[in-house]
């Protein structure tokens, strides 16, 4: 059969075939056809976008990086965000990645992450920090491996910590040890900007992730969080910071627009909206594979945007 130059089938062939192996589809029906039939169908726009996000996440870091996840409110989504950004980085880029919970209040990371064969926490690490050398083997007694997410978790005690031991000085000391063992640390912080642990976390961080739900009170707290960062003398870090907005079932688009405009006004590097996902609600245990595909894409974009700043 002869196909004329103007035949629409020729344009379709150009759009759906490729001579470059790395451009060939590996996902969806096109990927199946390529594998099963030996074709060279080009990757779809969605697959190309996915590859681009993952390439950004996989970009090598020149040195260790620490990210503090901030929101001046309990139950504001910090733990969920810190864990899933770390898990996305673990699944896509690999390497030594830690999601650490450093605050003087009751933590929830231990309850929502995979359990370990011990119940030691951040407080135990701080109490025994002088016995921990800069070897990963020394941390096995304190961290909790997270299976397919390929990260470690260091959790605060569910009942709250000893405030006489967990302070800004101890956070800095623990971070100094941990940064020699992990290429990327995401710090789940407390709820008070007056706390020495909060101040220490912001101080040691290279970049920040600001967290908000698509709610009016969270929009106000976002402004308070930015003001607190600026008051601590770290306003320059906002240019390397990302706002992660967890959408609600009501999906107030007008408020989302205001949040985006505010983030742009204070110079944040980017805004990513995480769609409403029932698997993330009601304090359930984290299960990455249960996330909706749209949620995974959003966390990939958030992690990619963050990595761009590191």
Residues of the chain with CATH 3.40.50.300: 61-308
User: pTM for this one?
Assistant: 0.87
Query: What are 225-257's pLDDT values in tens digits?
Result: 999 999 999 999 999 999 999 999 998 999 999
Half-sphere exposure of 43 (CA within 13 A, CB side): 16
Architecture label for domain 61-308:
3-Layer(aba) Sandwich (3.40)
- Top mean pLDDT of 10-14, 73-77, 131-135 is at 73-77
Query: What are 251-283's pLDDT values in tens digits?
Result: 899 999 999 999 999 999 999 999 999 999 867
Is pLDDT of 17 > 50? no
Q: What's the rounded Cα separation, in Å, for the pair 151 and 173?
A: 21
């Amino acid at each position: 059969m002869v196909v004329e130059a103007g035949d629409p089938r020729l344009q379709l062939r150009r759009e759906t075939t490729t001579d470059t192996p790395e451009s060939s589809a590996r996902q969806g029906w096109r990927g199946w056809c390529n594998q099963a039939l030996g074709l060279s169908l080009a990757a779809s726009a969605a697959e190309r976008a996915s590859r681009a996000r993952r390439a950004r996440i996989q970009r090598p870091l020149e040195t260790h990086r620490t990210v503090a996840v901030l929101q001046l409110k309990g139950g504001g989504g910090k733990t969920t965000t810190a864990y899933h950004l770390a898990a996305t980085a673990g699944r896509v880029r690999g390497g030594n990645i830690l999601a650490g919970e450093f605050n003087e209040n009751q933590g929830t990371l231990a309850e929502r992450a995979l359990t370990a064969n011990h119940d030691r926490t951040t407080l135990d690490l701080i109490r025994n920090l002088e016995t921990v050398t800069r070897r990963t083997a020394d941390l096995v007694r304190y961290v909790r491996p997270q299976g397919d997410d390929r990260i470690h978790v260091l959790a605060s005690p569910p009942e709250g910590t000893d405030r006489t031991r967990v302070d800004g000085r101890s956070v800095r000391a623990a971070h100094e040890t941990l940064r020699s063992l992990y290429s990327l640390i995401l710090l789940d912080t407390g709820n008070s900007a007056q706390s020495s642990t909060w101040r220490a976390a912001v101080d040691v961080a290279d970049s920040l992730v600001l967290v908000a739900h698509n709610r009016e009170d969270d929009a106000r707290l976002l402004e308070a969080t930015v003001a607190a960062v600026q008051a601590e003398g770290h306003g320059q870090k906002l240019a390397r910071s990302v706002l992660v907005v967890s959408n609600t079932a009501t999906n107030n688009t007008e408020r989302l627009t205001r949040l985006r405009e505010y983030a742009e006004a204070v110079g944040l590097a980017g805004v990513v909206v995480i769609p409403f996902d029932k698997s993330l609600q009601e304090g359930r245990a984290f299960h990455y594979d249960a996330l909706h595909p749209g949620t995974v894409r959003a966390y990939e974009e958030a992690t990619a945007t963050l990595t761009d700043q590191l």
